[in-house]
A and B are shown apart, each in its own frame.
Chain A
């Protein structure tokens, strides 16, 4: 496939020349510059060398402990909104995202933080079996991964500086969050990765590894036969994991996807341990955002979740005098410390957008071909409320979503309508999202291009 040098990029948004910068504090964590990416743009503006269509991707950015609704909702609606104090850190990126305000998470708010995280991520109330509280339904990332994640090496990737296992494939089926930038990099760009043009002779060990998995799968029926219903399902999940690895090995034997902006980056360097008792949330997040941006550019996955912090986390943020969760409850007055933390986390969301927007793809950027949902598990931390829920939507999903807006719900709509909107924007045919009070089958038209 010929790659024609273009004189000028058609992309009018600012790009970062240095895609993987992962810098700020400490610098040079990921060190790859990508000079002259426009060299790789093909003549017709299609970033795929094999001429295929650019796939839509989904991303989740999730932080814990909510916001201050009064300092969150911007003034003005439509394209003419004035940044609120807590959105001010990403005001300069305003064309890249839309704010959805005035929606409620409608599931019964029975478990502080628990109802909210289940409600916003799965649309369903908490499921309780005995003393165990879990998700009743898969989380939005997994629903979408089941639809659009099948063709890539990884169906979905869950990571985040300090987040825990919130992504769920079903009840009691958590997907752990990778907290280590090194491990995230190794998983995606380590041994199993081949960059475009890196042709190696087929490794006989790949076929042998497949034969081992075949032998294990041949035992599946014998194992499952003796089990009760729930165990059968747990084991089926395990076998499905094995089949996924088989498919991945098969893909390794075949050619990797040919993506023009894809390059094998260098791994992160240095340690990311807490410094003097304080987690390096920003530094970890930025390196991981750079890695995932390149993972999308290389089509290693089409669905990711960035759980930067966890509901109820008590992280000691820089300059804070107490843990985040404790501050949301006990800090008096306007809660200036909580406010600073929220702004910090919103800024990290901005970094993710910039990382994705820094890689050209087709006529635009990787971000343009994504639908990103940015949210948390409660609106006002002090009272665990689920009304006036903070929701950000970024990326244009290949042109089906509108950005740059403040959409103010006229009548306290169900937040699940946002998920329906995103799924449809990604080309997924869905009857709706959520369950019971959280169920919605309508999208929000104002967000659709």
Chain B
């Protein structure tokens, strides 16, 4: 029932098997790995990126636009959505409104000195100001033509309104509402090689979820980003900068779809513990745990499945039944060593997101493990099938009992046998993620089998995932996709193998993997997309 990707990736681990714990083998240079670039795309800034850049340009206290075109998920990924989705008319309207709002704030009397250090009545001052802002906002120096057009807008506005500051506002707005601000044009400059400024943008948004800083733009101008060593050097500088935390958070937030927590819906009578603040805290917990593991400790990524350390506030501590680390805010706690909760699959974020508003869902939780953690594809249910599962009864009190009845249908078995046993391994956690020992009055049996690895509770399930041959290659593939904004293609396979081998050799250091991806040839390349236009959008009849 599964598509071929189901087990195809297991072969990759043979490469990983070469790794030795203490002494990584000599590595082939990534530049020598055969690689054929797939089509590159321009990428619309996500809402988070737009906000981060606006704060960077105008100061941390700038009031951000209340709404922008929503980010869209495509193939489960915001990074892909940002490369394939077209903006709506309403979205353009919101970008225009946002540009005027930011421009007005930026040039308000109390703030304007941050942006303008000269008298805007002078032509030279206008050009200098727009040139400096434009280079940061468009992530490359402006041409004379571009500057001239912006200056003309300012002239006209100044003359009409009789105020040079008001005039300048229109120039700032013109910079911000241009597609050159809203999109990152990661497209080839020549052949299949990206230009240096496109590489700089790709690096900055990948590592920082933010626009390039002055040093990175200087590296682009010097041609230092054209070589793997040059990219690596800049990437290492950036990985040592606190801003890398935002980059790591953006990737994992997208991977685990933590933004969906904002719209989480739980029946209040069943889950009186739950409200919006719990959803926000759950998101923070997962991101903070990852940040500590990946950035602070450069630890083994696989430990995300098994660590008993977590980061909670008072409300989460109450749900986990541990002592709150602090009266306000978050702190690290160690979950009890004799408990069944540990690792990512013990987080409220994952448990609550992949449940129903009133109950757990073995299928949704199993799908999360299969699709997100193992990169396997589960087909949609066939149509025309009664998808209901029996109500709890005396003979079938638990979810497992009810699913067993449900799985007597051959139309359902094929896929549900792939997902549901995993989810049943997490039945000790209710629809919000609270621990329980019974379901419908009967004891929970959390045992099962993951592709040949038996487990009998959430702890051993987490071990089975940690050691699953698809677990590590899946992370490499997802991070690569995130960096390039496209699905890996056949021409990427050898490089993915090589990146995986290095990742294994470096004890699954995610930041190291990010550096390797930045250094790899794929990072500086992209083919011109030659899709037939007729295929891309049909004419309106």
Q: How far is the CB of A194 from chain B (nearest CB, A)?
A: 18
The answer to the question of B529 belonging to the interface, with a C-beta cut-off of 8 Å to chain A, is yes
The answer to the question of B450 belonging to the interface, with a C-beta cut-off of 8 Å to chain A, is no
Residue of A nearest to B77 (CB): A131
Contact call B42/A235, Cβ cutoff below 8 A:
yes
Interface residues of A in 131-171 (CB under 8 A from B): 131-132, 134, 136-138, 142-143, 146, 155, 158, 165, 169-171
Which of B42, B67, B84, B157 touches A211 (beta carbons < 8 Å)?
A: B157
The answer to the question of A114 belonging to the interface, with a C-beta cut-off of 8 Å to chain B, is yes
Interface residues of A in 89-120 (CB under 8 A from B): 109-112, 114-115
Residue of B nearest to A143 (CB): B540
Q: Which of A238, A245, A314, A322 has the most CB of B within 10 A?
A: A238
Contact call B540/A314, Cβ cutoff below 8 A:
no
Interface residues of A in 12-60 (CB under 8 A from B): none
Contact call B90/A323, Cβ cutoff below 8 A:
no
Q: Report chain A residues within 8 Å CB of B74.
A: 131-132, 134, 172
Question: Which of B286-294, B458-466, B531-539 contacts the other chain?
Answer: B531-539
Contact call A227/B385, Cβ cutoff below 8 A:
no
Q: Which of A134, A142, A228, A383 has the most CB of B within 10 A?
A: A228
Once bound together, how far apart are the Cα atoms of A146 and B100, in whole Å?
29
Contact call B160/A207, Cβ cutoff below 8 A:
yes
Given A208-B170, A235-B42, A235-B183, is A112 in contact with B93 using a C-beta cutoff of 8 Å?
Answer: no
Contact call B153/A215, Cβ cutoff below 8 A:
yes
Given A231-B41, A316-B267, is A237 in contact with B86 using a C-beta cutoff of 8 Å?
Answer: yes
Q: Report chain B residues within 8 Å CB of A171.
A: 536-538
The answer to the question of B381 belonging to the interface, with a C-beta cut-off of 8 Å to chain A, is yes
The answer to the question of B341 belonging to the interface, with a C-beta cut-off of 8 Å to chain A, is no
The proximity string for B residues 175-187 relative to A, scoring 1 for CB distances below 8 Å and 0 otherwise, is 0011110110101
Q: How far is the CB of A122 from chain B (nearest CB, A)?
A: 10
The answer to the question of B222 belonging to the interface, with a C-beta cut-off of 8 Å to chain A, is no
Which of A129, A326, A430 touches B356 (beta carbons < 8 Å)?
A: A326
Contact call A131/B383, Cβ cutoff below 8 A:
no
Q: Report chain B residues within 8 Å CB of A131.
A: 74-76, 80, 487
Q: Report chain B residues within 8 Å CB of A11.
A: none
Contact call B386/A228, Cβ cutoff below 8 A:
no
The answer to the question of A397 belonging to the interface, with a C-beta cut-off of 8 Å to chain B, is no
How many residue pairs link A and B with beta carbons under 8 A? The number is: 239
Q: Report chain A residues within 8 Å CB of B18.
A: none
Contact call B178/A176, Cβ cutoff below 8 A:
no
Q: Report chain B residues within 8 Å CB of A234.
A: 42, 85-87
Q: Report chain B residues within 8 Å CB of A187.
A: 93
The proximity string for B residues 74-114 relative to A, scoring 1 for CB distances below 8 Å and 0 otherwise, is 11100010001111111111001000100000000000000
The proximity string for B residues 379-416 relative to A, scoring 1 for CB distances below 8 Å and 0 otherwise, is 01101111111110000000000000000000000000
Question: Which of B144-152, B248-256, B330-338 contacts the other chain?
Answer: B144-152
The answer to the question of B231 belonging to the interface, with a C-beta cut-off of 8 Å to chain A, is no
Q: How far is the CB of A179 from chain B (nearest CB, A)?
A: 10
The answer to the question of B530 belonging to the interface, with a C-beta cut-off of 8 Å to chain A, is yes
The answer to the question of B39 belonging to the interface, with a C-beta cut-off of 8 Å to chain A, is yes
The answer to the question of A174 belonging to the interface, with a C-beta cut-off of 8 Å to chain B, is yes
Q: Report chain B residues within 8 Å CB of A215.
A: 149-150, 152-153, 174
Q: How far is the CB of A189 from chain B (nearest CB, A)?
A: 15
Contact call B91/A176, Cβ cutoff below 8 A:
yes
The answer to the question of B156 belonging to the interface, with a C-beta cut-off of 8 Å to chain A, is yes
Q: Which of A230, A235, A386, A431 has the most CB of B within 10 A?
A: A230
Q: How far is the CB of A435 from chain B (nearest CB, A)?
A: 8
Q: Report chain B residues within 8 Å CB of A143.
A: 540-541
Once bound together, how far apart are the Cα atoms of A17 and B459, in whole Å?
65
The answer to the question of A318 belonging to the interface, with a C-beta cut-off of 8 Å to chain B, is no
Which of A114, A175, A227, A331 touches B90 (beta carbons < 8 Å)?
A: A175
Contact call B384/A230, Cβ cutoff below 8 A:
no
Q: Which of B76, B182, B390, B536 has the most CB of A within 10 A?
A: B536
Q: Report chain B residues within 8 Å CB of A165.
A: 70, 72, 88
The proximity string for A residues 300-331 relative to B, scoring 1 for CB distances below 8 Å and 0 otherwise, is 00000000000000111000011100100111
Q: How far is the CB of A250 from chain B (nearest CB, A)?
A: 15
Once bound together, how far apart are the Cα atoms of A232 and B187, in whole Å?
12
Given A215-B152, A241-B87, is A277 in contact with B533 using a C-beta cutoff of 8 Å?
Answer: no
Given A130-B487, A229-B531, A384-B384, is A323 in contact with B153 using a C-beta cutoff of 8 Å?
Answer: no
Interface residues of B in 240-269 (CB under 8 A from A): 265-268
Contact call B187/A231, Cβ cutoff below 8 A:
yes
Contact call A226/B92, Cβ cutoff below 8 A:
no
Q: How far is the CB of A422 from chain B (nearest CB, A)?
A: 14
Q: How far is the CB of B537 from chain A (nearest CB, A)?
A: 4
Once bound together, how far apart are the Cα atoms of A213 and B95, in whole Å?
12
Residue of A nearest to B534 (CB): A229
Residue of A nearest to B103 (CB): A212
A–B pairs, 10, beta carbons within 8 Å: A109-B384, A110-B380, A142-B540, A174-B85, A212-B170, A226-B187, A229-B536, A231-B41, A277-B268, A433-B541
Q: Which 7 A-B pairs have the closest CB atoms?
A: A228-B529, A241-B92, A131-B75, A277-B268, A109-B383, A170-B537, A173-B86
New contact pairs (16) apart from A231-B529, A329-B389, A383-B387, CB-CB < 8 Å: A132-B80, A143-B541, A165-B72, A172-B74, A174-B72, A176-B69, A176-B91, A207-B160, A212-B170, A231-B185, A241-B88, A276-B268, A315-B265, A316-B267, A384-B385, A435-B538
Partner-A contacts on B (CB < 8 A): 39-42, 67, 69-70, 72, 74-76, 80, 84-93, 96, 100, 146, 149-150, 152-153, 156-157, 160-161, 170, 173-174, 177-180, 182-183, 185, 187, 189, 265-268, 274, 356-359, 380-381, 383-391, 487, 528-533, 536-538, 540-541
